Copies of this chain bind each other. A is one copy, B any other.
Amino acid sequence: MKQPAVLFKNIQIVTPMPGGPVLSLTNAFVAVAAGEIRYVGQFEDTAVQILKDCGFAEYESYDGRRKILWPTMANTHGHIPMTLMRNQADDAVLHTWLFEMIFPREKYLTPDHVLNGTRLGMAEMIRSGTGTAADMYYYSESVVEAALESGMRLNVCFDGKATGSDGKTHLVRPSLEKFIADCQTYGQGRINPALLVHSLYLYEPDLHRELSETAQALNCFVQVHIAETKREVEESLAKYGKRPASMLAELGYFKSPTIAAHCVHLDDAEREILKAHSVFVAHNPTSNLKLGSGIADVAAMLRAGLRVGLGTDGAASNNNLNLYQEMRLASLLAKGTSGDAALLPADALIEMATLHGQKGLGFERSGCIAVGYEADLQILNADQPAMWPLGEPTSALVYSADAAFVESLMVAGQWLLYKNDLQTLDEEKIKADALRSSARLNP
């Protein structure tokens, strides 16, 4: 892995700070070497000296004029290989979408198709400022393979369930343990394994208890869909007399780090439960609207002290993996549905998309432009009519920026996108492979 030394010069910085406000620094310098941020400030001489002290007398100068340097974003919920089903399942209600459009395609999936779809999704995410993603899908080894190639950080689900001799579904714990060990061995700190818990409604209580006990025993991440639709809540109440988040807690979950996707239909008590267990919420505003699921009350979540990040969900219900659009939409929805235009200001979205999202996926040293953090950053070219004049840089990023203005992106000091060219992925090959795989799902 190539980790050059780079000095970003005369650049506009925007960064959240742990426990502090979002900072905006104009005409600043950032030095990166051996994968970490070494200097952030106003003085070029100091930056150069620090690079020398780290053993980097030679470094690349990156002209930052009319550009914004800020952390890579974290896409906290998605099904990356579903790029293969992009623009093929639209304007349909959830049941039609799932049973008539998605499931008939998914029955043709192979590890090779998943690999091709994941590579495509990662190319798209890197181009639009995302350096870290969560994934919940099948054939996780293929998803991990694409992540190792691309250089992205990944919080990735493993399923590992099988029918036992009793005819019931059980978790095959050794296969999960092997997956976790492999991620730790080969992941270079970039791959965080998670246990897939699709949802309350898909499994019976016995299996849920097995899964929750294993997650706790291994202190393993869990990714789970919670309260995406009203119907899910109604069915949970009918079956268990409890709402989904309450019932999942009762089944023993939330004792290891948990990423709860959607949470569109929570009540106050459930927000308290999630808060008490430090559950991280992945908010997917586009997908929730597009499937007619509703609008999650993020302002209420933040008031309750919950940690919230942003997600795109899969490209079959979005139809892209563009977190700039999710930032903007999340803020607009909070304002428009409450009537309070001051809700979810630009700073809150910057935090959700970067620092909070990275932390939620378990990457504690990403999401902030400060000395000692991993060099996970993106450069946005703001020299565009659509971002002119720049005004407040945080507003510019959330309300006027376009993902296509991202020109460069690095993770752990490695360029994944450099001046509009992908560095780790072969875009033309990926597109050809993905097109072939996509066609195979529509025989």
Residues of A within 8 A of B (CB): 83-84, 86-88, 90-94, 97, 120-121, 123-124, 127-128, 230, 286, 288-295, 315, 318-322, 325, 328-329, 331-333, 335-343, 345-346, 383-393, 395-396, 399-400, 402-405, 427, 430-431, 434-435, 438
- Chain B nearest CB from A338 CB (Å) reads 7
Task: Please pick, from B124, B383, B389, the residue contacting A84 in the complex, using a CB distance under 8 A.
Answer: B389
Instruction: Establish whether residues B123 and A385, one from each chain, have CB atoms under 8 Å apart when the complex forms.
Output: yes
Tell me the bound Cα distance from A295 to B390 in angstroms. 28
Tell me the bound Cα distance from A434 to B123 in angstroms. 35
Q: A86 contacts which chain B residues (CB < 8 A)?
A: 387-389, 391, 396, 400
Instruction: Establish whether residues A88 and B392, one from each chain, have CB atoms under 8 Å apart when the complex forms.
Output: yes
Tell me the bound Cα distance from A435 to B388 in angstroms. 8
- Chain B nearest CB from A418 CB (Å) reads 16
Instruction: Establish whether residues B88 and A391, one from each chain, have CB atoms under 8 Å apart when the complex forms.
Output: yes
29 A–B pairs (Cβ distance < 8 Å), ordered by A: A86-B387, A87-B389, A87-B390, A87-B391, A87-B393, A88-B391, A88-B392, A88-B395, A91-B346, A93-B342, A120-B385, A121-B385, A127-B385, A128-B386, A230-B339, A292-B335, A292-B338, A292-B340, A292-B343, A294-B336, A294-B339, A319-B396, A319-B400, A320-B402, A322-B402, A325-B328, A329-B332, A383-B431, A388-B434
Tell me the bound Cα distance from A374 to B293 in angstroms. 41
Task: Please pick, from B123, B127, B292, B395, the residue contacting A341 in the complex, using a CB distance under 8 A.
Answer: B292
Tell me the bound Cα distance from A137 to B357 in angstroms. 41
Instruction: Establish whether residues B93 and A124, one from each chain, have CB atoms under 8 Å apart when the complex forms.
Output: no
Q: Is the interface of A mostly helix, strand, loop or mixed?
A: helix
Query: Beyond the given A128-B386, A318-B400, A404-B405, could you list 14 further A-B residue pairs with CB under 8 A, ordered by the A residue number?
Result: A86-B396, A86-B400, A91-B345, A93-B340, A121-B385, A123-B385, A124-B386, A127-B384, A288-B336, A289-B333, A289-B335, A290-B336, A292-B341, A402-B404
Q: A392 contacts which chain B residues (CB < 8 A)?
A: 87-88, 90
Task: Please pick, from B121, B343, B402, the residue contacting A402 in the complex, using a CB distance under 8 A.
Answer: B402
- Chain B nearest CB from A438 CB (Å) reads 5
In the complex, the chain B residue whose C-beta lies closest to that of A328 is B325
Instruction: Establish whether residues A389 and B434, one from each chain, have CB atoms under 8 Å apart when the complex forms.
Output: yes
Q: A404 contacts which chain B residues (CB < 8 A)?
A: 402-405
Q: A341 contacts which chain B residues (CB < 8 A)?
A: 91-94, 97, 290-292
Interface centre among A286, A393, A405 (most CB of B within 10 A): A286
Instruction: Establish whether residues A399 and B123, one from each chain, have CB atoms under 8 Å apart when the complex forms.
Output: no
Instruction: Establish whether residues B340 and A90, one from each chain, have CB atoms under 8 Å apart when the complex forms.
Output: no
- Chain B nearest CB from A160 CB (Å) reads 30
